[in-house]
Structure 1
Amino acid sequence: MRSDIVIVGGGAGGLELACKLGRKLGPSKVTLVDSRLYHIWKPSLHEVAAGTLDIHQEGLSYQMLAHDNGFNFVFGPMTALDTQNRSITVGAIVAALENDEVLPERRLTYGSLVLGIGSVSNYFGVPGAQEHTISLNATEDAERFRLRMLRLMLAAEQDHEEGKGSGLDVVIIGGGATGVELAAELREASGAYVTYGFDQLDVRRDVRITILEGAPRVLAPLPEKVSAAATELLAKRGIRVVANCRVTQIDKDRVIDKDGNVYPANLCVWAAGIRAPDLLATLGLPTAKGGQVEVDAHLAVKGVPDVYALGDCAACVDGKGNAVPPRAQAAHQQADYLVTTFLRKAKGEPPQSAPYEYRDYGSLVSVGRDTSVGSLMGSLRGASWFVQGTMARMMYTSLHLMHHRAVLGTMRTGVLALARFLVRRATPLVKLH
């Protein structure tokens, strides 16, 4: 099989690129490859983990998106790259239960290749981190966390009925956006569980949530005012924050820091950093210290013709010489830049001369379902505005809708938003099964 443009990875950037190019060029020109059958916006994984968002309602089928947006979808993981023959290998798909091969290994040839395979957790060599923690990198991670949390709450409820009343401890390692959002969502979700039969539990007493952050404050990359507001909101929710805490060991039921402090942990989440997937080191492409593929200011992989990279897997320095952070808004902007690149190429026009430039529009962090905090960047260099409360929450929600609009269109996004609003009023506040 051959395609003019092959995009590997259906995350925020890769999927938006496939949809926008597919609508312009058609399925004979554009192919998306992904190892999963459906897409979920990664910043919402903390809601899936807490049980406040049902993955089976939220997920968007790649095959549906391919049909509606005019691109071709290939199901399977990329396993190898042959730049000389301009081809990639897509691994076989094996049914887990029957152990039968559903799809064989395949080879796709390309005119241009775009890598957007995201990132994985960086455990920094901490003993026990990979074995005893859950990282929210994918939908299956979030669902595994949700099921374990539900089982632990059932066990805690049973203990109370038997007069034990030990409760449970959740430890989140990393006080970035993922850690803060998960902690706040868990607190609200645990309160909702109480209303659905877990009436022996006292949420603050029996569901103890702790964030361990190595920096002096949570949300360290954001302005101090944002961090302070988030810390205050977490404290109001009974969430313990321990700053300047460097974790040195993780066991099955506890976390130990450099000072010898021990934190009991029935459930532990790793949200302390990301790195490039191991696959990138096997492809023969130039990589940076962190393992990401090195790209130039036009997002082209250095020294390799017609191969590009975007998102978390790309080590990108923009036209101003600034390192581009691994954030969803960067992937969105890079996708738009590459749309222009490939449309010009399809029309036989010369490449765009202007390099890619990252624009920081600020950050918003959800601290529960009713409020958010963050900073918005102005047009003046260095200017930013602090936002908090309901307005910030509405703006946070709009980011998700903007992503859906890019892949579904305005009308369908509106219908979907209305449908989810109505479904939420006919279903439990949390997923109970």
Structure 2
Amino acid sequence: MNTSKRIIHTQYPDSHRILIIGGGAGGLELATRLANTVGRRRLSEITLVDRYPTHFWKPLLHEAASGHRDPASHHIEYAALAKRNGFHFVQGELEGVDRAKCLATIGGIADRDGNDVLPRRVLHYDSLVLAVGSVTNFFNVPGAERYALPLENVEQAEKFRRKLLAACTKANHFREAGATLPAPTINISVIGAGATGVELSAALRNAINLLSAYRLESLDPERDVRVRLIEGGGRILPALDERVSMRTHARLTRLGVDILTSTPVSEVCADSVVTGNGERLASDITVWAAGVAGPPVLQAVDGIALSRLGQVLVGETLQTPDDPRIFAFGDCAACPSSIQGVFLPPRAQVAHQQAVYLSRSFFERLTGKTVTQFTFRDAGTVVSLGPAGAVYQGDLGLSSRSLIVGGQSAKALYAFVYRRHLFALAGLARAATETVSQWLRSRIRPAIKLH
């Protein structure tokens, strides 16, 4: 990789330069909102940096992993959105920040053969916004990082999907040859029964049924495939109301998911998972969905304080206490909640509300108005169970009660959350057109990706 640096100068040298690192749900929405407010008024120049050329909404990764959703049909091109809205896009990964000179170093880009495509670059900023998301937290469990698959991006989702398809194809051929086995041929272990683990387990059960119906006719989903959901705590969805947990547990059981609660994992091996009491569970494919942490790239910003999970500590204006020119939000930020000593959870709605807040607060700063503080308002949590529906929990404003909705109403709400994300990025007309286009494609394509 070429180690030379190229300094990129701004188009409007007198405007405030806002540099956003990370084009996830929050970062991309913030860039779009800023470009259409302070950017259009020439008060600021906005630049978005991401290591990938396209955006895929992270809450849908379980559908990409199970084959229910083709990422190619749901990618958003950063460059196209930047041109449409009037911000800049720079592809690359953050390598370092010189806080004294307000410079961010962005790594070079090479092709698959290792040939240089883009050199290392240096970007000036007046305000730096960190929105780099999170990475999987393996909690130092032996073998977990080596043998368990994380689910952080499209590449990892596709890797899991290919392994699942190969395993099912092999098992189907085995059955076609007339072999019989008393135990399931494929064992899939999903470690962590939060929203991601629950959604993936439900999606896998449906995906295996569809694969059997479309092309793997000798594969018996119940006999030949075991989907096991493993949770160290006493119940699944521990962050939600116990009634939601019990309802979801019952639905997953009806779908054929084996649920093991109060079962911590002490080791992950190539072909098994070892529990805390020493029991060895066969596992051909293991997915780790047990927690997240701040990405290592945050350590490239020297001198800013990080939480014990490696997230950037921020205050009520989402600024770091060490440098008011640096902001952080979304999964990579440890933002205080209304409960003393507790940070907001890494959820899409938190990133969305923080993006809306930052777009407003930057406008307030640049126009000389009083900057308000960020306040999170919980809009509830919805967990998808695929064709089996969804479950939703929302606060009614009473400490002892909450609204719990299931079935098609919750499923429609889950779909709306994604559409709201598209509306924020593309506008109502384009998002509506894309929604219709995706629906039409779903009418003529198989319900699952078959290759």
Give the TM-score of the pair, scaled to structure 1. Answer: 0.96
What is aligned with 1:309? Answer: 328
What is aligned with 2:365? Answer: 345
Residue 139 of structure 2 corresponds to residue 124 of structure 1 = yes
Distance 2:412 2:349 in 1: 17
Residue 345 of structure 2 corresponds to residue 325 of structure 1 = yes
Deviations 1:332-377 (CA, angstroms, capped at 9, x unpaired): 1111111111112232x1341x321111111110112340012112
Cα gap change, 1:371 to 1:53, in 2 (>3 Å): same
What is aligned with 1:56? Answer: 72
2:126 alignment partner, SS class = strand
Which of 12, 22, 39 lines up with 1:9 in the alignment? Answer: 22
Which of 14, 28, 34 lines up with 1:21 in the alignment? Answer: 34
What is aligned with 1:151? Answer: 166
Distance 1:298 1:2 in 2: 28
Deviations 1:244-290 (CA, angstroms, capped at 9, x unpaired): 00101111110010112121111100000111111212321111222
Displacement of 1:320 after TM fit?
6.9
Question: Which letter does structure 1 place at the counterpart of 2:346?
Answer: P
Where do 1:128-277 residues align within 5 Å?
A: 128-165=143-180, 167-277=185-295
Deviations 1:158-199 (CA, angstroms, capped at 9, x unpaired): 111223345211100001100000010011111111122200
What is aligned with 2:95? Answer: 79
Distance 2:216 2:291 in 1: 34
Distance 1:319 1:391 in 2: 29
Which of 265, 289, 309 lines up with 2:308 in the alignment? Answer: 289
Question: Which letter does structure 2 place at the counterpart of 1:323?
Answer: F
1:217 alignment partner, SS class = coil
For structure 1, the residue ranges without an aligned partner over 5 or more in a row are none
2:424 alignment partner, SS class = helix
What is aligned with 2:4? Answer: none
Distance 1:73 1:319 in 2: 35
1:424 alignment partner, SS class = helix
1:323 alignment partner, SS class = coil
Where do 1:369-388 residues align within 5 Å?
A: 369-381=387-399, 383-388=401-406
Distance 2:195 2:272 in 1: 23
1:361–1:378 Cα contact (<8 Å) kept: no
Displacement of 1:318 after TM fit?
4.4
Deviations 1:212-237 (CA, angstroms, capped at 9, x unpaired): 10010000110001001110000101
Give the TM-score of the pair, scaled to structure 2. Answer: 0.93
Cα gap change, 1:320 to 1:185, in 2 (>3 Å): closer
Distance 1:193 1:22 in 2: 44
1:376 alignment partner, SS class = strand
Question: Which letter does structure 2 place at the counterpart of 1:149?
Answer: L
Q: Number of paired residues?
A: 430
Displacement of 1:319 after TM fit?
6.7
Distance 1:407 1:369 in 2: 27
Distance 1:147 1:44 in 2: 17
1:218–1:243 Cα contact (<8 Å) kept: yes
Distance 1:60 1:382 in 2: 41
Question: Which letter does structure 1 place at the counterpart of 2:413?
Answer: M
1:195 alignment partner, SS class = helix
For structure 2, the residue ranges without an aligned partner over 5 or more in a row are 1-7, 11-16
Question: Which letter does structure 2 place at the counterpart of 1:328?
Answer: A
Pairwise CA RMSD of aligned residues? Answer: 1.4
Deviations 1:147-167 (CA, angstroms, capped at 9, x unpaired): 111111111111112233452
